[in-house]
Structure 1
Amino acid sequence: MASLNVGNLGEYLREQRRNAQLSLRQLADAAGVSNPYLSQIERGLRKPSADILQQLAKALRISAETLYVQAGILDEKDRDELETPAVILADPLINERQKQVLLQIYESFRKENAAESANEDAPGDRGSGSEATPSH
């Protein structure tokens, strides 16, 4: 996951663009921004809006949230929750349907584990429960 630990947004975008084997012009066209503007973002001269980041993420087929973290729009603490979906969405070897299925399975596991964790932490949930219920 070293690719997600790039120092700034511009470097990260450049790395993602190269991984996607896109030229600067191709990405600019796909994202609907000008070539010079994208070049300025990659060189760290411009800080794009959330809307522009979303367009770039869509063109790169990566998670917009990952770009938001890189840009400082989302907190770093949210990064763990974003990394796995971002990697799934960025994988060029699986199709869009497969990506969506994987994301649904991943989320169902996270919800199941969160529910189990909450039940384990609940006070008075030990045993069958019938002994603890008062009869009135």
Structure 2
Amino acid sequence: MASLNVGNLGEYLREQRRTARLTLRQLADAAGVSNPYLSQIERGLRKPSAEILQQLAKALRISAETLYVQAGILDERDRDEAEVRSVILADPSITEQQKQALLQIYESFRKENALAADSVRKKTGTSDDDSTPSS
């Protein structure tokens, strides 16, 4: 698990709060945290728990996984997988059985692709970091 990068998290939270046109007090009330505590998080002085991040995400109407990535709790790949799962599970137009089938298919494709990528890395002698394109 990566260490928390609270400075960037605080800046990101402030930006999201302003985008949502919420005052610090409004967001604190909506998330069920104190105004001073939220202020300290935004200034990078406090490390919020995953539970607090989830409450803030709900109040901001953004995914908790996005905040987990910003906080360094989750890496980008984990967030993408969690978001796919969330979208499937939240879809009201398909049954629970269909949701589970989709998740099983999705997971089997991920495992198959990971095995193929691992095989290529072993053959070429590259590490996981070497195969990641830079932006």
Cα separation, 2, equivalents of 1:57 and 1:42: 14
Secondary structure at 2:62 match in 1: coil
1:16 aligns with 2:29: no
Cα distance, 1:10 vs structure 2: 0.5
* Counterpart for residue 49 of structure 2: 49
Distance 1:30 1:81, change over 3 A: same
Alignment of 1:58-77 (within 5 A): 58-77=58-77
Larger Cα Rg: Structure 1 or Structure 2?
1
Corresponding residue pairs, total: 102
Distance 1:83 1:11, change over 3 A: farther
Alignment of 1:99-118 (within 5 A): 100-101=90-91, 108=102, 111=105, 115=109, 118=112
Q: Do 1:27 and 1:60's aligned partners in 2 also have CA atoms closer than 8 Å?
A: yes
The TM-score normalised by the length of structure 1 is: 0.57
Q: Do 1:17 and 1:27's aligned partners in 2 also have CA atoms closer than 8 Å?
A: yes
1:27 aligns with 2:49: no
Higher-RCO chain (CA-CA 8 Å, sequence separation at least 6): 2
Secondary structure at 2:22 match in 1: coil
Cα separation, 2, equivalents of 1:75 and 1:66: 10
Query: Displaced runs of 4+ in structure 1, greater than 6 A?
Result: 83-86
The TM-score normalised by the length of structure 2 is: 0.57
The percent of aligned pairs where both chains have the same amino acid is 73
Cα separation, 2, equivalents of 1:22 and 1:85: 29
CA RMSD of aligned residues (A): 3.6
